[in-house]
Amino acid sequence: MKLLHNSNKAVYERACHVLTGGVSRNTIFRKPHPFYVATSKGSYITDIEGVERIDFANNMASLIHGHSHPAITEAVIDQIKRGTAFTMGTEAEVRFAELMIERSGTFERMRFVNSGTEAVMTMLKTSRVYTKKPKIAKAEGAYHGTYDYAEISQTSNPDNWGSIDKPNTNRVVDGTPQGVLDDVVVYPFNDIERTLNILDEHADDIACVLIDPVPHRIGLFPATEEFIQAIYTWTRKHNALMVFDEVVTYRVNYGGKQDSFSVKPDLTAMGKMIGGGFPIGALAGRSDIMEVLDPRGRILRHPHSGTFSANPVSTTAGRVAMELFDKEAVLTLNALTKTAVDQIEEAMAIADVPLSVTGAGSMFRIHLQPDKPKSYREAYHTKEKKELINELLDYMFLEENIIMINTGACMFATSLTQKEVDRLSEGLLKGFQLIKPKLDRLQINTAEGYF
């Protein structure tokens, strides 16, 4: 392909004069500069210098059908011609809500918002209103967006995370008020005994226990059935809610990861893929809880609005995307992802590297350790691990022309085929062989207690 007039470096130099750090979201930043998209189609992205790459990140799990899907594109263009935002309702949001409630047995009522962060925020505020209690409990290391309360402990590290019996509540952003820290209870994911002991200490004040059922930042391994059952039982006993963040994990099964469990959440926050490539978030759950948002009530307990909430472009794109992601599509994509994991594990064996893979459904994460982690602390990336995973990912991006998420994770889309999976596993084999000497030294030093 003929090179375009711009270079990635030149655009970044311009960006640094108008955008803080040259970016609007830190996710895309990389040294010496970010790369900029010219076009995309399916699972391929071409940057402004004409380099084509296979996309296994899919905008951080938000593109379940890859880029520029024709059915979504056609529906969106049709809606844009009729308008994009109104101080009136549209049938688009009603049609989408009907589809999602039919799809998920735990959804009785819904509200659409603009992002996963906003969905989680609204879910936590709704839980406080309903229970009349102030505190929320969340897992150490879990990412739930950028709401003050939801992000506590997200970046905890060995210097500040404290005892596993009572993990510290650590701020992510400097200046976060102490009052926020005081109203967040941190528990160790999947550790039933320790979690229940911690929750018991705050039983009178906890409005909800927030759970990502396959938390990416913790290590991308699922919550156990026993853990979910224990949390559910505890919340029934103490007038609290069990709420799920399925912003990423709704892709795992036809009705979300919650389909895997015998007990179900009271409320669920969603986002990412349910927007069909456009900004969206949603809150769904029990009608008696969702009633606190109802403007028809005698007292408006939770005033809730939003200029672009339920905008018809996002709800149209989302509805079409979810119609396409039917039961057969879910099973097919999950099977392709399992094939990819099998091939990657084979590549690890051939390269003789002490690595492991965790995941669920159509997503997985590579760990620089031989045993699959079972906790945030086991999966934690030390400085040395971060440097090594970055070296692997830079090799994949620059030499193999393959895009992965910066933790070493992949989020699959239905536009991927066996051809792209083969490219991924072949590229990773070369990448594993490249980092093997440093990885072996890292394992020796870790075993000897140097890190």
pLDDT one-digit tens code per residue, 244-256: 999 999 999 999 9
In the prediction, which pLDDT does 1 show?
41
User: Would you state the structure tokens that stand for residue 82, as one six-digit string?
Assistant: 């009729």
Residue 386 among the catalytic residues: no
Average pLDDT over residues 355-373: 97
Lowest mean per-residue pLDDT among 3-7, 230-234, 250-254, 374-378 = 3-7
Q: What is the pLDDT confidence band of residue 126, given thresholds at 50, 70 and 90?
A: very high
Q: What is the pLDDT of residues 376-406, one digit of tens each?
A: 999 999 999 999 999 999 999 999 999 999 9
- Packed helices 192-201 and 225-237: angle between N→C axes, nearest 10 degrees: 20
Residue 422 among the catalytic residues: no
Annotated active-site residue in 272, 376, 385, 395: 272
In the prediction, which pLDDT does 105 show?
87
User: Would you state the structure tokens that stand for residue 201, as one six-digit string?
Assistant: 């200490």
Q: What is the pLDDT confidence band of residue 300, given thresholds at 50, 70 and 90?
A: confident
DSSP code, position 204: T
Helix extents (H) in 183-286? 192-201, 225-237
Annotated active-site residue in 183, 191, 212, 245: 245
DSSP code, position 42: B
Q: What is the pLDDT confidence band of residue 127, given thresholds at 50, 70 and 90?
A: very high
Decide if pLDDT at 451 tops 90. Answer: no
Chain centre to alpha carbon of residue 269: 11
In the prediction, which pLDDT does 3 show?
46
Q: What are phi and psi of 172, to 5 degrees?
A: -95, -40
Q: In the chain, which residues fall in CATH 3.90.1150.10? A: 8-64+326-447
Cα angle, residue 385 at apex, residues 382 and 386 outer, rounded to 5° = 85
Q: What is the pLDDT of residues 82-112, one digit of tens each?
A: 999 999 999 999 999 999 999 998 999 999 9
Q: What is the pLDDT of residues 35-69, one digit of tens each?
A: 999 999 999 999 999 999 999 999 999 999 999 99
In the prediction, which pLDDT does 448 show?
57
Q: What is the pLDDT confidence band of residue 6, given thresholds at 50, 70 and 90?
A: confident
Query: Can you list the positions of beta strands (E) in 127-285?
Result: 135-139, 184-187, 206-211, 241-245, 267-271, 281-285
In the prediction, which pLDDT does 372 show?
97
Q: What are phi and psi of 146, to 5 degrees?
A: -110, 10
Average pLDDT over residues 310-320: 98
Residue 436 among the catalytic residues: no
DSSP SS3 for 99: helix
CATH fold of 70-324, please?
Answer: Aspartate Aminotransferase; domain 2 (3.40.640)
Decide if pLDDT at 367 tops 60. Answer: yes
Decide if pLDDT at 450 tops 70. Answer: no
Q: Is the peptide bond before 32 cis (omega within 30 degrees of 0)?
A: yes
Helix extents (H) in 52-111? 58-61, 70-82, 91-103
Average pLDDT over residues 169-187: 97
In the prediction, which pLDDT does 254 show?
98
In the prediction, which pLDDT does 298 show?
80
d(CA 4, CA 372): 44
Decide if pLDDT at 303 tops 50. Answer: yes
Does this model's pTM top 0.75?
yes
In the prediction, which pLDDT does 5 show?
57
Q: Strand 281-285 to strand 109-113: parallel, antiparallel, or no bridges (unpaired)?
A: antiparallel
Of 131 and 440, which is predicted with more confidence? 131
User: Would you state the structure tokens that stand for residue 25, as one six-digit string?
Assistant: 């979201």
Cβ 259 vs Cβ 228: under 8 Å? no
Q: Does domain 8-64+326-447 have CATH number 3.90.1150.10?
A: yes
d(CA 243, CA 255): 15
Annotated active-site residue in 130, 143, 250, 376: 143
d(CA 46, CA 202): 52
Q: In the chain, which residues fall in CATH 3.40.640.10? A: 70-324
User: Would you state the structure tokens that stand for residue 84, as one six-digit string?
Assistant: 């994009």
User: Would you state the structure tokens that stand for residue 275, as one six-digit string?
Assistant: 């927007």
Average pLDDT over residues 309-315: 97
